[in-house]
Amino acid sequence: MTTAQVTATLKPALPPPPPVAPGWTLARISGFAFLGLWLAGGIGLVLMLYNGFDPAFYARYGPKFLNGLVVTLEIVFLSILIGSVISLPAAAGRMSENPLAAAPAFAFVYFFRGTPLIAQTFLVYYGAGSFRDPLEAVGLWWFFRDPFYCVIFTFSLNTAAYQAEILRGAIQNVGKGQWEAGKSLGLSKLTIYRKIVLPQAMIVALRPYGNEIVLMIKGSAIASIVTVFDLMGETRRAFSRTFDFETYIWAAILYLILVELLRRVWARLETRLTRHLVRITADSGKDRPAGETEAAVIEEPVVTARP
């Protein structure tokens, strides 16, 4: 029997069942209700900003806000950078088998992760005053007198503790076999670290690092409490002078943009850096443009079967 005869004897395929008409379920109604609520809130905010539009206000506080934004970015950038340097010995200490190295590293990490950032900032900024004379004697008083330096100091130590844990988790996540393979090739310990373990660990650490930066951006608002005029500090100053709630709205918008931007960029970076780990299967075609997928997955077998 040829294929044509077989298909002739078969019953014609039934048409697909009609799609179920989506009704107005409770979920749908509440979904639209909440979306409407957000929309109304958004429009309300825009109207509020529009109605309260006062050129003098923007001329006076606009540049200050931008200055504050720059200060916030400075704090975050410097703290993350200095913190990443400090986190290296801390992570090494946490992984060390020598208790003399492990204990202080553990205490450091536990203290900075177990107490609120704001308490640490107070401890350094106000607490440094208790040691004014010895600090002046060493010549470090200028450093602890300035709130900006104090904030950088505290935030760096704080983020160093978190980064140390990220780093440790990532390095210990790399399988033991990787070490053994490196050793069996006769590589030195440093080379194994640099060429085998760290590249794999960094990929694992990428996402937590992104989260840590976001946390730092959010945490940097605390700097405003100790009279650093970052974005939050400028907002508080503007609010205390004008009692205009707009100031907080603008700060919220700026922070949201900052955090969302970082999140998006980081997600891009992650997909880019881990593209060699993505397994290509018939399923993975879903991520590709629709036309390309159909050509690749469905038609290909037909073409090979024909001759």
* DSSP single-letter state for residue 188: -
Which phi and psi (to 5°) does residue 54 adopt?
Answer: -135, 110
Q: Which amino acid is at 239?
A: F
Separation CA 134–CA 152 (nearest Å): 21
Smallest separation (angstroms) from another protein to the CB of 5: 42
252 binds another protein (CB under 8 A): yes
Determine if 38 is a binding residue for another protein (CB under 8 A): yes
Residue 115: φ, ψ to 5°: -115, 155
Q: How many residues bind another protein (CB under 8 A)?
A: 48
Asked if 134 interacts with another protein (CB under 8 A), we say: no
Cα separation of 113 and 164, whole Å? Answer: 11
CB of 151 to another protein, least distance (A): 14
Q: Of the listed pieces 59-67, 119-127, 190-198, 266-274, which binds another protein according to CB under 8 A?
A: 119-127
* Contact with another protein (CB under 8 A) among 44, 116, 134, 175: 116
Per CB under 8 A, the list member of 228, 236, 238, 246 interacting with another protein is 236
Q: By CB under 8 A, is residue 114 in contact with another protein? A: yes
Q: Does 193 bind another protein (CB under 8 A)?
A: no
Q: How far apart are CA 10 and CA 40, in angstroms?
A: 58
* Smallest separation (angstroms) from another protein to the CB of 21: 15
The string of DSSP codes covering 117-147 is HHHHHHHHHTGGGGGHHHHHHHT-HHHHHSH
- CA 247/CA 244 separation, integer angstroms: 6
Decide if residue 145 touches another protein (CB under 8 A). Answer: no
Could you say whether residue 73 binds another protein (CB under 8 A)?
no
Q: Is 142 in the site for another protein (CB under 8 A)?
A: no
Answer yes or no: are the C-beta atoms of 214 and 259 closer than 8 Å: yes
Single out the residue of 120, 154, 159, 163 in contact with another protein (rule: CB under 8 A): 120
Check binding of 25 to another protein (CB under 8 A): yes
Closer CB to another protein, 148 or 248, in the complex: 248
According to the 3-state scheme, what is the secondary structure of 73-93? HHHHHHHHHHHHHHHHHHHHH
Exactly one of 94, 224, 238, 246 binds another protein (CB under 8 A); that residue is 224
Nearer to another protein among residue 206 and residue 259 (C-beta): 259
CA neighbor of 84 nearest in space, from 158, 151, 149 = 158
Selected binder of another protein within 43, 123, 137, 282 (CB under 8 A): 123
Distance of CA 273 to the CA centre of its chain: 16
Residue 154 binds to another protein (criterion: CB under 8 A): no
The tally of CA atoms less than 13 A away on the side-chain side of residue 265 is 10
Provide the minimum distance between the beta carbon of 39 and another protein in the complex, in angstroms, as a whole number: 10
Reading the block at residue 202, the tokens are: 């960094």
3 state DSSP class of 110:
helix
- HSE (side-chain half, CA atoms, 13 Å) at 12: 3
Q: Which residues bind another protein (CB under 8 A)?
A: 25, 27-28, 30-32, 34-35, 37-38, 110-111, 114-120, 122-123, 126-131, 214, 217-222, 224-225, 232, 235-236, 239, 245, 248, 251-252, 255-256, 259-260
